[in-house]
Chains A and B, each alone.
Chain A
Amino acid sequence: MTAASIRAAGWGWRHAARTRPAVAGLDLRVEPGERVLLLGPSGAGKSTLLAGLAGVLGDAEDGEETGSLAVDGAHPATTRGTAGLVLQDPQANTILSRVGDDVAFGPENLRVPRAEIWARVRDALDAVGLDVDLDRSTAALSGGQRQRLALAGILAMRPGLVLLDEPTANLDPDGVVEVRDAVVRMLDGTGATLVVVEHRVDTWLPVVDRVVVLDPGGGVLADGPADAVFARHGDDLADRGVWVPGHPVSIERRDVAPGDELLRATGLVVGRDAPVRPPVDLALAGGTSTVVTGPNGAGKSTLALTMASLLPRLGGSLAASPTLAGELGPDPARWRSSALATRIGTVFQEPEHQLVGRTVREELGIGLRAVGVPRAEHAARIDALLQRLRLDRLADAHPFTLSGGEQRRLSVATVLATGPRVIVLDEPTFGQDSRTWRELVTLMADLVADGAALLSVTHDADVVRVLGTSTPSDRVVRLDAA
């Protein structure tokens, strides 16, 4: 297929359940073969626009469309195979259980003859550099491989327009470059038009022609070559949470004297079923920050969850000091859940796994009740937490309806509610805009200054810098590929 054009004239979309449109009054022209980086603060409607261009927003039952939107002169919902979309949630892009079948799925739907499908499948996998058996289980792929599989899945459809929604979020730095280069190879081969949404813009600036910034109030805030857009609007965009190159985030860190040792792992062997890496020695003291980093699949999360005594250890020992354990024995694995929550807290990668309440307020109350905080104190403690994490206006909202950044703050609040002295965070800044990032990292720095032992797992180079290398007691643990 030849490269596709995009025309939007006064286009807007309001999801059926919302009162405010996600996108409004959008005028946009993209010529065939252009490569566009689409930016905008959280809630500006970037994902909605991509879904609209892919023709998957649904019909009048799903929402209300205004103005006109056309890909290659036709409404996107009426054409198929013109646009290929890679969604934000990496799990959602994999449809079938085998690599070959998953890539073949698109061409099958486009009624490509059988003989040609397998040639396309092999070409697509070659182009994205995914050199695995066609019968390989899609469940056995790493994060980077999974994203390249998603790219191959749309490449095999030979689309004239490639739409990518945060294709490299949650990949390690090598994986990010791998996926980006796969996209470029694919576009060089087909000449297709590209629209990519990504928070971390540095990755894409070298390969795009143009930056378009959506205005949350409707329409386009800025449009043009990257240099010009950032020169004119850089400060404003940075204030609104866009990651602007040349606007490094910095967070003040106070030096604190390390406190008592709280938790020590000796020869700790971690893994879900079998060991994923050699034994680890790691000690955490109050008032210190430890950052664990390394490639996808190195066992970072597994190590963190085992340190938090949420996964059984496969060998070695984990011992809490008397300062942390109090009247309990030294092995956290033997503690009751309510005792663990007041000593070692964990912020999970997916906030949805952690949230159980029907409202934000109830969410915090549940934790307090579980660890036996007297009922009379609940209201005051909850209010203080809500204020501290800027959730006070959302106190009565359902946790699953919050935005990504709000959910992340709430999951941190649930941990703080029970007052643990060791806090483990698994990819806390993943997918956040720069404003939420700053809030989260500031909060984490404050926790260390207040005497907590922080263990953060991250791919984020800025988190490694701010929480791993700013004060003398900071530490970075680099795990290499398992």
Chain B
Amino acid sequence: MIGTRRVAPPTHLDRVNPVTPFLAAVVLSLPLLVTIDVVSASVALVLGLAGLFAAGLRPATIVRRTWPVLVAAPLSGISMLLYAQPAGRIHLRVWLAVISDDSIALAVAIVVRVLAIGVPTLAILAGVDATRLGDGLAQVLRLPARFVLAALAGIRLFGVLREDWDALAAARRARGLGDGGRIRRWLGMAFTVLVIAVRRGGRLATAMEARGFGHGERTWARESRLGLADAVLLGSAVLIVVAALGASIATGAFRLVGT
């Protein structure tokens, strides 16, 4: 998760500027979002995984970082399988759900497509260090310092709020307010955490101002710029897209969304 300390071993991706994976994700997803055939997605997935391994990511690390996609992909496949516009041979019909030749093909294409976009993107982004990302956003993408630093300070505050939440839960149990409706209790606690967060945020803003923040131009202690590693990552994303679309056109499988 962003903001926590990583235990994964170092990889070539550590040399990449944290803003580059965002750009690479855009390059990778756009063509894959407008096509719907299984060949382009499969080629992209295989090449994407090969790229991750080549960068030094271990399979275990990839699984740990991408599990939400690993869960979401089959789910989106199942809904396609059951509810996509039926065409070709009908295999099964239960009330609104119809499994047909077309829905099977579509389901497979969707599963592979979600994986092809989601796995490389999450595997790289989940390893991004929030502090370096902030440097990149401010210095490479030139986002306003106020926005970037507020976000960074907010990430730190988020960890503190977890402690607040635990203390609130304990305090409610101590006061006899811990029985009964969990949802209602959590709503009450969420409101209190919000109040505490706003107050903390106000004090944090004062502390930042007291350290000279908010008077325009500032310097950055760590330089953030693009280098060879960033060119390699972006170039790889472009190559994967070209190879995927090329293979799908060559095999005649190419199909745009909605056709």
Instruction: Known A310-B173, A414-B175; judge A108-B219 contact (CB<8 A).
Output: yes
Instruction: Known A80-B212, A89-B203, A342-B176; judge A98-B131 contact (CB<8 A).
Output: yes
> Does B175 contact A113, Cβ atoms closer than 8 Å?
no
From 116 to 152 in chain B, residues with beta carbon under 8 angstroms from any chain A beta carbon are: 130-131, 149, 152
Q: Write the A76-110 contact mask toward B (1 if CB under 8 angstroms, else 0).
A: 00001101110101011111111011001111111
> Does A367 contact B175, Cβ atoms closer than 8 Å?
yes
A217 to B179, CA, bound (A): 47
In whole Å, how far is A10's beta carbon from the nearest beta carbon of chain B? Answer: 25
> Does B221 contact A106, Cβ atoms closer than 8 Å?
no
> Which residues of chain A are near B168, meaning CB under 8 Å?
353
> Does B167 contact A350, Cβ atoms closer than 8 Å?
yes
> Does B174 contact A346, Cβ atoms closer than 8 Å?
yes
> Does B218 contact A109, Cβ atoms closer than 8 Å?
yes
A111 to B219, CA, bound (A): 5
> Does A337 contact B176, Cβ atoms closer than 8 Å?
yes
> Which residues of chain B are near A98, meaning CB under 8 Å?
131
> Does B156 contact A97, Cβ atoms closer than 8 Å?
yes
Q: Write the B174-188 contact mask toward A (1 if CB under 8 angstroms, else 0).
A: 111111000000001
A270 CB–B CB distance under 8 Å: no
> Does A341 contact B174, Cβ atoms closer than 8 Å?
yes
From 55 to 114 in chain B, residues with beta carbon under 8 angstroms from any chain A beta carbon are: none
User: In the complex, which of the residues A87, A100, A111, A118 contacts B206, with contact meaning CB atoms closer than 8 Å?
Assistant: A87
In whole Å, how far is A160's beta carbon from the nearest beta carbon of chain B? Answer: 13
- Nearest-neighbor residue (CB-CB) of B4 within chain A: A137
A336 to B171, CA, bound (A): 14
- Nearest-neighbor residue (CB-CB) of B130 within chain A: A97
A229 to B130, CA, bound (A): 51
B250 CB–A CB distance under 8 Å: no
A371 to B179, CA, bound (A): 10
A451 CB–B CB distance under 8 Å: no
Instruction: Known A111-B217, A157-B212; judge A95-B153 contact (CB<8 A).
Output: yes
B1 CB–A CB distance under 8 Å: no
> Does B219 contact A97, Cβ atoms closer than 8 Å?
no
Instruction: Known A109-B218, A111-B219; judge A87-B203 contact (CB<8 A).
Output: yes
B159 CB–A CB distance under 8 Å: yes
Interface residue total, chain B, C-beta cutoff 8 A: 48
User: In the complex, which of the residues A96, A111, A356 contacts B177, with contact meaning CB atoms closer than 8 Å?
Assistant: A356
> Does A95 contact B5, Cβ atoms closer than 8 Å?
no
A195 CB–B CB distance under 8 Å: no
> Which residues of chain A are near B11, meaning CB under 8 Å?
none
> Does B221 contact A118, Cβ atoms closer than 8 Å?
yes
A354 to B204, CA, bound (A): 22
Most chain B beta-carbon neighbours within 10 Å: one of A85, A336, A352:
A352
> Does A110 contact B173, Cβ atoms closer than 8 Å?
no
A422 to B215, CA, bound (A): 53
> Does B179 contact A96, Cβ atoms closer than 8 Å?
no
> Which residues of chain B are near A454, meaning CB under 8 Å?
none
> Does A345 contact B160, Cβ atoms closer than 8 Å?
no
A375 CB–B CB distance under 8 Å: no
From 299 to 315 in chain A, residues with beta carbon under 8 angstroms from any chain B beta carbon are: 305, 308, 310-311
- Nearest-neighbor residue (CB-CB) of B152 within chain A: A96
> Does B156 contact A95, Cβ atoms closer than 8 Å?
yes
Apart from A113-B219, A138-B156, A370-B175, list 7 A-B contacts with CB within 8 A: A87-B210, A92-B204, A105-B208, A114-B221, A121-B221, A310-B170, A370-B176
* Sampled A-B contacts (11; CB under 8 Å): A92-B206, A95-B208, A111-B218, A121-B221, A154-B211, A340-B173, A345-B174, A346-B171, A353-B168, A415-B175, A418-B175
Interface residues of A (CB under 8 A from B): 51, 54-56, 80-81, 83-85, 87, 89, 91-98, 100-101, 104-114, 117-118, 121, 137-139, 153-154, 157, 305, 308, 310-311, 336-338, 340-342, 344-346, 348, 350, 352-354, 356, 366-367, 370-371, 400, 414-415, 418
Interface residues of B (CB under 8 A from A): 3, 5, 130-131, 149, 152-153, 155-156, 159-160, 164, 167-168, 170-179, 188, 192, 195-196, 200, 203-204, 206-215, 217-223
- The 6 A-B pairs of least Cβ separation, nearest first, read A337-B178, A341-B176, A370-B176, A109-B212, A104-B221, A92-B203
